[in-house]
Structure formats: structure tokens, C-alpha cells
Structure 1
Amino acid sequence: MTSSQRPLYKMETHYYEVNLGWQYDRLGQLSSTSLTDTIDVATPPEFPKGMAGVWSPEHLLVAAVSGCFMTTFLAIAENFQLEFEDFDCKAVGKLEKTDKGLQITEIELLPKLLLRHESDTNKAGKVLLKAEKACLITNSICAKVTMQPTIRVADKDYD
């Protein structure tokens, strides 16, 4: 087995338990015995009786893809010794009617990466692509996930 085929760590089966308690109307509260915070979740305001200002299942799905992409990027960037100053990622999910009913059919990731060194630009592009392909949440859903990265180099102060 070559080093590129060898797993980085031994992967076992894991389970992630989430509890949902209905509060009132179209509002519920998510919790987990392994987490300290709770999250309110409700029907989005675009639907009848939806609630503005509350996380919806649609937002949470898009956030899961974005969060997984970020954590995957961070792990791969560390393995590639990619030095960067900042990373953020906007994600946009497209909800539409399909022959299966309403679906999030596309999620566009718009990561912005601020590098320390211009010489790392090509490496950064490769790391972002690897992260996009390796994201386990993206690989677990049927929506098409695309990425449009922006890579910049930090300005240097010169005397």
C-alpha cells in the first residue's frame, strides 16, 4: 500500500444522536447529550406558518455542508502544511420543486481563502479541491455541490 492509499487514521463506526423537542406552533428545539448548546429550528418563513429569524432544516442542511467543507479543508491544509491567514465560506442552497417534491438540489460553496505566501496559490487550489471531494456530508447527500473559491494573498507591509 502506498502512502497515498494508506488511511490517515483507523475509522470506526460513529453515531451522532440528536434530540428534537416540539415547543409550539412550528418551532422545535434541537439538542444532543454530547453538546452543551441547543438550537431552535422552525419552518422557514417562505412556507405557511414559517418563522423568521429561526434556523430552518434547509439552513441546517446548507450549514452542514459548509461546516464539513471547512473542517475537511482545515485537516487537509494541515497535512499539506498550507499557511493561511483567514478562511470563510458562504454557502447558498437552492430549494426547488422536482419530480420527487421539494428538494435542495444545489449548494454552492463560496470559500474565501487569504494566504500568507503567494507561492502557495497552486497548493491552496489543490487543497480546496481535495476538501470539496472528501467532504463526508457532501458525499452523503444527493444535492449537487459546487465550489467557486476566491484565493487572495495577504498584503505585506514594507518599510
Structure 2
Amino acid sequence: MPRQHDYRTTVTWTGNTGAGTDSYRGYGREHEVRAEGPPPLAGTADPAFRGTADRWNPEQLLLASLAQCHMLTYLALCALAGVVVTGYTDEADGTMTEDGAGGGRFTEVVLRPRVEVASADDVERARRLHGEAHTKCFIANSVNFPVRHEPVMTVRGA
């Protein structure tokens, strides 16, 4: 029987400047995201939608969730396969396209993991494990747009 995992967050708008949403330009997009355990996350809208650049926006968080999920799944698969990863950095990019009617959607995300392995003998196996990580990533399996991977593999000390 499949296991079910439930998650809970609280999002509280903190951008009321005194007049609520009396006008589109008159209120702040600031908010806090909370969950039991971690510290609050300061959020806002993308600056293109009247947010500020000093807080996380939902689009960045979606991109970060995909990159985190892939990395965590990948590292677990490497550990189980005996591939020793000694470094991992991902500079991911996402594309969102507005539809002209006030909405929009992500059309693609590209993950660019730079993975360092301990042994040259593991480079190809480590590269192949990105495909398996993609098929097992909970977040990638939950989105309706392509998530591509362009890994770069290096060997520690090489």
C-alpha cells in the first residue's frame, strides 16, 4: 500500500500598508511562509509583479524545489549505487510565459548540476543516475512542464 505524506504551511500576508487592497498599486506583496520547524521564509511577488528583490518569490521557490528534489534524490541514488559524490552545485533556470490575460505558466526548467565524484571510474554511472533521479523526483513528477537536465561531471583532484 502506498504511503501518504501530508504537509502543512501557513502563508500570512504582511503587506497591508493601511488601506488593504484599495488599489492595485497601494498594497505590498510581502508575506511570510511558515511551517512547523524551520524559520519563517520572507516572501513577495516577482519584481515584475510589484514585489521586491530582497525576498523569495513563488517562481524562485518552485525552481528551488525542483533543484532541491533532484539533488536529494540523486545523492541518495549515488549513495545506494556506491558512487561517491564529493561536490554538487546546480544553477537552474526556469521560463515562465505570461498568457496576455493575466495568467501564465512555466514552460520549462533546466537543471544544470555540476557534480564532482571521487573516482573517474564512476563518471558515466553518476551521469546516468540523473535520469533515474528525474523519474523518482516527487516535485518533477508533480509539474506539467518539461524539466531538463544538463549535468557536468568532474573528478575530484583532476
Aligned to 2:45: 43
Q: Whose strand proportion is higher, 1 or 2?
A: 1
Aligned residue for 2:144, secondary structure, equals: coil
Aligned to 1:56: 57
Amino acid at match of 1:36: P
Match among 138, 148, 151 for residue 149 of structure 1: 151
Give the superposition deviation at 1:97: 2.5
Q: 1:138 & 1:38 partners in 2: Cα distance?
A: 25
Report if aligned partners of 2:75, 2:85 keep a CA contact under 8 Å in 1.
no
Amino acid at match of 1:97: E
% identity of equivalent residues: 25
Amino acid at match of 1:95: M
**Structure 2 unaligned residues grouped into runs of 5+:** 16-27
Aligned to 1:32: 35
- Residue-pair matches, total: 145
Amino acid at match of 1:23: T
Q: 1:39 & 1:68 partners in 2: Cα distance?
A: 18
Amino acid at match of 1:108: V
Q: 1:74 & 1:99 partners in 2: Cα distance?
A: 40
Q: 1:14 & 1:36 partners in 2: Cα distance?
A: 18
Matched, 1:23 2:25: no
Give the superposition deviation at 1:113: 0.5
Amino acid at match of 2:57: S
Q: Compute the TM-score of the two structures, normalised by the length of structure 1.
A: 0.85
Give the superposition deviation at 1:105: 1.1
Please show how residues 101-116 of structure 1 align to structure 2 within 5 Å.
Answer: 101-116=103-118
Give the superposition deviation at 1:51: 1.1
Aligned residue for 2:71, secondary structure, equals: helix
